[in-house]
């Protein structure tokens, strides 16, 4: 039943039907009554109301209620808003089927790479899973029956010595300048296998030079981890001016500056993340697979195959 109570700040409407309770405060009594009537109708006619919702409206609710709890919530909300402008977002849940997503997939593949389509399908599947399991808006996830595009082959791009020298010249040696520190961060990544976000967020109070350990809290899986520091990693840290964070750069600054110095050096096809490939390939000659997985933060040993890029020629030399 609905009830309206007068408060100093306005009127509180309370609804309790079928074991579900809702309440909200409004400035006027009439607004409280109108809301209570709608709330009662939605509770009593849940299935009908849910069926009339469009996929875009479900995206909006997910971005509002679920995404903020995630570390990458901003980018997730941006992606949901973009997909929400597609024709598929205007389809009601009651009319939504696997063929709608298959059609969307095929059209999207004409615009972006398969990897991007896979990420967007995974995001939409997460939304529909919450809509089914937590919100009880749908009985099944129609996207679960849709084939994802074939995954592209893993990157095997490693920086060459000539490219590193060219980028060093492009960046300069003066670490008081942000561009030089951006390349310094790249070199640090090549010996620690830390990601750009981890490096950009590294504070001095999380670096123990005596224990040779850096605490990374900005990890991909959200779990803090201690990163062992080699002698070379310590040298790179000690060469930096005293700044906070350690490299004095945000994630965005690091990305922009690295791209600029790379392009100025005439290096093509290299990303900052390729430093992680280089680091894991080099570290694999020093650490066993379990120690390597712990250092780079992988809980699934199969993930190492994506980054491990030692050539057959190099493996042959290790056999002697």
Q: Which long-range contacts (CB under 8 A, 24 or more apart) does 260-264 make?
A: 260/179, 261/167, 261/170, 261/171, 261/179, 261/182, 261/183, 262/167, 262/170, 264/170
Q: Which of 79, 108, 277, 298 is catalytic?
A: 298
195 carries an active-site annotation: yes
Q: Is 212 left (phi over 0), alpha (psi -120 to 50) or beta?
A: left
Q: Which of 105, 195, 262, 277 is catalytic?
A: 195
Q: Which of 6, 220, 223, 232 is catalytic?
A: 220
d(CA 55, CA 19): 27
273 carries an active-site annotation: no
46 carries an active-site annotation: no
The DSSP string of the chain is -EEEEEETTEEEEEEEETTEEEEEEESSHHHHHHHHHHHHHHHHTHHHHHHH-BHHHHHHHHHHHTGGGSTTHHHHHHHHHHHTTSGGGGSBGGG--HHHHHHHHHHHTTTS-HHHHHHHHHHHHHHHHHHHHTS---SS-GGGGSPPPPPPPPP-----HHHHHHHHHHH-S-TTSHHHHHHHHHHHHHHH---HHHHHT--GGGEETTTTEEEE-S-TTS--EEEE--HHHHHHHHTS-S-SSTT---HHHHHHHHHHHHHHTT--S--TTHHHHHHHHHHTTTS-HHHHHHHHT-SSGGGHHHH----HHHHHHHT-
Q: Which of 24, 41, 61, 308 is catalytic?
A: 308
Catalytic residues: 195, 220, 298, 308
């Amino acid at each position: 039943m609905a009830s309206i109570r007068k408060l100093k700040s306005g009127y509180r409407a309370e609804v309790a039907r079928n074991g579900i309770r809702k309440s909200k405060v409004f400035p006027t009594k009439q607004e409280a009554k109108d809301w209570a009537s709608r709330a009662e109708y939605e509770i009593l006619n849940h299935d009908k109301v849910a069926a009339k919702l469009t996929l875009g409206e479900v995206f909006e609710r997910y971005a509002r209620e679920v995404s903020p709890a995630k570390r990458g919530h901003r980018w997730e909300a941006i992606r949901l808003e973009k997909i929400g402008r597609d024709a598929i977002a205007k389809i009601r849940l009651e009319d939504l089927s696997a063929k709608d997503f298959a059609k969307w997939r095929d059209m999207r593949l004409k615009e972006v790479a398969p990897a991007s389509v896979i990420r967007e399908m995974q995001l939409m599947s997460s939304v529909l899973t919450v809509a089914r399991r937590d919100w009880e808006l749908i009985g099944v996830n129609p996207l679960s029956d849709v084939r994802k595009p074939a995954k592209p082959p893993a990157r095997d791009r490693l920086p060459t010595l000539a490219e590193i020298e060219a980028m060093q010249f492009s960046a300069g040696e003066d670490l008081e300048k942000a561009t030089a520190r951006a390349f310094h961060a790249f070199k640090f990544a090549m010996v620690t296998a830390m990601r750009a976000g981890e490096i950009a967020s590294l504070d001095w109070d999380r670096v123990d030079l005596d224990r040779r350990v850096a605490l990374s809290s900005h990890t991909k899986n959200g779990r803090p981890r201690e990163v062992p520091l080699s002698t070379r990693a310590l040298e790179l840290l000690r060469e930096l001016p005293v700044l906070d964070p350690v490299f004095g750069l945000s994630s965005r600054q690091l990305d922009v500056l690295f791209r600029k110095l790379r392009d100025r050096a005439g290096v093509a096809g290299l990303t900052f993340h390729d430093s992680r490939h280089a680091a894991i390939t080099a570290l694999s000659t020093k650490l066993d697979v379990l120690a390597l997985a712990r250092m780079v933060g992988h809980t699934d040993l199969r993930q190492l195959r994506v980054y491990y890029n030692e050539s057959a020629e190099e493996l042959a030399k290790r056999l002697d």
